[in-house]
Structure 1
Amino acid sequence: MVLDALCKLSCQNVTWFFLGQIGAIRLGMSRALQNWAPDQFRPPLKEAGFLTRDSRIVERKKPGKAKARKSFQWVKR
């Protein structure tokens, strides 16, 4: 078991594409810190909202539609 660890993360020019991965890394590191020393790390992490998982997932594409909710253009005749 590793007791002393040094971790340095840096991000530059973060785009919307990487926000999900960054959130997953933040959640994983927060859970690891919480499990390592719950009395010390859990209250500040909980207050900052780092222990809450974002449960939204991508809605599936439905048959007969262009995307999950977008329909094809309607033709009267």
Structure 2
Amino acid sequence: MSEAKNLSATGRRKNAVARVRMTEGSGQIVINGRSFEEYLPTLPLQNTVLAPFQHANLLNKFDVVVSASGGGVHGQAGAIRLAVARALTIFDAELRKVIKPHGLLRRDPRMKERKKPGRPGARKRFQFSKR
């Protein structure tokens, strides 16, 4: 394990971007100045963010400060998960073998398709009128 005092990484999902700063501590997570449980109210969202720590058996070992922007709560949770997983691999390169098989280092590329000119949406067409 490297003696990294301040780990930082960036994660993205859909239109959400999360910048994470991690320091060794008691497991406190702060997202945009609010507590972890307040910002992510549902258990599945909280588990999304905690997944890299659970797979690496490092739960409550790091204090995490997150700056998340763009997208919605689900996209931000996915972005935070990727950023935390990347920071953990910087902390210890051996953790990559544990985290990677679970797909936590893969950036989800799915994004909203752009609206095309002459269409009401990305693919939708205006109603056809024969007469």
Give the TM-score, by structure 1 length.
Answer: 0.80
| Alignment partner of 1:34 is 2:89 | yes
Unaligned 5+ runs, structure 1: none
Unaligned 5+ runs, structure 2: 7-22, 30-35, 46-71
Q: Which residue of 2 aligns with 1:51?
A: 105
Structure 1 position 7, deviation (Å)? 3.7
| Alignment partner of 1:12 is 2:12 | no
Give the TM-score, by structure 2 length.
Answer: 0.50
How many residue pairs end up in the alignment?
A: 75
| Partners of 1:7 and 1:34 in 2: CA distance | 20
Q: CA RMSD in A?
A: 2.1
Q: Which has the higher helix share?
A: 1
Identity of aligned residues (%): 40
Where relative contact order (Cα < 8 A, 6+ residues apart) is larger, the structure is: 2
17-26 or 3-12, larger mean C-alpha shift:
3-12
Q: Which has the higher strand share?
A: 2
Question: Following superposition, which runs of at least 4 residues in structure 1 exceed 4 angstroms of deviation?
Answer: none
SS of corresponding position for 1:42: helix
